[in-house]
A and B are shown apart, each in its own frame.
Chain A
Amino acid sequence: MPEKKTFKITHNRKWCKDCGICVAVCPKKVYEIDRGDRHAIVRSQDCIGCQMCVEHCPDFALTVEEVKDE
């Protein structure tokens, strides 16, 4: 059985403008705009590494990389 892949999400708070596009395009609901209207990573364990959020962030604020532990 191949193990479930895990991904590391990096969010650059200084560049993010809390626009919510990553929230709208992520198929796994990894992000939310929280009650303070701020971008928040809420379900990083569900990330499948599809890169939708990275490619659609207008502010280059996200990277998603696979975590490889040998």
Chain B
Amino acid sequence: MRLDFLRSERLPNIWCPGCGNGIVLHALLEAIDQLQLDPDKVVLVSGIGCSSRAPAYTAFDNVHTLHGRAIPVATGIKLANPDLTVIVVTGDGDSSAIGGNHLIHAARRDVDITVVVFNNYNYGMTGGQASPLTPDSSITTTTPNGNLDRPFDLVNLAAGAGATYVARSGIYFTKHLVDHLRKAIAHDGFSLVDAVAQCPTYFGRFNKKGSAGQMVTSQKDWMVLKSVAGKKTPDELAGKIIIGEFVNIERHAPESAAAPKEQA
């Protein structure tokens, strides 16, 4: 990772000790570096939340918008200047609760932006409330006896809405995460990466997930590579999260403009 991609004068970051956001940000900066993009043509757009503060630590142009509204702002930037690589940095709450409608319609329109969801399974910034991605039975500030609702499967949601690139990875699997972020950014069309991070301060503490270090390494136990999952029985996959690439569709001819061509 190029250290000059960081705005060093703004560090240390405000995140809690062991917060997963810095690991996803590191991976994102590494992916941008590997793609050899012109740093002046990369724009990061975020909403509101702990995760949404990530762009401000980077040397790239960035816009910190309103809660849930990063995707419409990113869409506008991309339409006005299709030469830019536009990346949305968002939380599970920001993208799937208040911003959920923007997400599905950007996917449907196949807008050529990349949405990176820093998924820590709760609203970190406001004290650990449940989000639409909080697993069932999990303890949060708003579900003190365990979450009664089932979560969205963000990968299926994005795929069902028409996203043309969808992947999931986790912060333990840094090389896997970088690979999928790189493919998502390079993809011509709407791409989404569900980057499973961690909030040790709230979700981790409420659900007795152990130390920040244990939370990171335990991803080995509850995440399964898609290639391996194909060989497992449903029983063996119970309670596991599958990581890998789920959708990769080339809709646009190579010479087409980056902006969506058709009105769906």
In chain B, positions 1-29 with a C-beta closer than 8 Å to chain A are 3, 6, 11-13, 15-23, 26-27
Pick from A17, A52, A60: contact of B18, CB below 8 A: A17
Dominant SS at the A interface?
loop
B contacts with A, residue count (CB < 8 A): 28
Which A-chain residue is minimally distant from B178 (CB atoms)? A55
What distance in Å separates the Cβ of A27 from its nearest Cβ neighbour in chain B? 11
User: A24 to B209, alpha carbons, bound, how many Å?
Assistant: 14
Q: Determine if A23 is an interface residue (Cβ-Cβ < 8 Å).
A: yes
B residues within 8 Å of A by Cβ?
3, 6, 11-13, 15-23, 26-27, 30, 171-172, 174-175, 200, 211-214, 216-217
Q: Determine if A59 is an interface residue (Cβ-Cβ < 8 Å).
A: yes
**Residues of chain A contacted by B174 (CB below 8 angstroms):** 52, 55-56
Q: Determine if A21 is an interface residue (Cβ-Cβ < 8 Å).
A: yes
Query: What are 29 A-B contacts with C-beta separation under 8 Å?
Result: A15-B12, A17-B16, A17-B18, A19-B17, A19-B200, A20-B213, A21-B18, A21-B213, A21-B216, A24-B211, A24-B212, A24-B214, A24-B216, A24-B217, A25-B172, A25-B216, A52-B174, A55-B26, A55-B175, A56-B174, A58-B13, A58-B18, A58-B21, A59-B15, A59-B22, A60-B6, A60-B11, A60-B22, A63-B3
